[in-house]
Amino acid sequence: MESVIVRDSAIMSGAPTFRGTRVLVRTLFDYLEAGHSLERFLEGFPTVTRKQALQALEEAKESLLASH
């Protein structure tokens, strides 16, 4: 499965973004950390799909758990 998270030096200075958007993945984590719902994030960033957001969370989880 192709990652929904990309790093491209030409987009947002190479910070991780959702594929096909200029939305920083960090923004999703900031929303959740602040206590906002996934729905609120998706409303604010309509170029990111629910599927992309959930896959990004899954990729982050797998990355974290793989290091232990």
- Please give the helix or strand (H or E) that residue 38 lies within, else none: helix 38-44
Count Cβ atoms below 10 Å from residue 16 Cβ, excluding itself. Answer: 17
> Domain 5-66 - what CATH class?
mainly alpha
Two tokens, residue 20:
């096909």
Query: Binning pLDDT at 50, 70 and 90, where does residue 18 land?
Result: very high
pTM: 0.89
Best CA proximity match to 28, nearest among 48, 10, 14: 48
Task: Express each pLDDT in 22-58 by its tens digit.
Answer: 999 999 999 999 999 999 999 999 999 999 999 999 9
**Sequence spans of domains, the chain:** 5-66
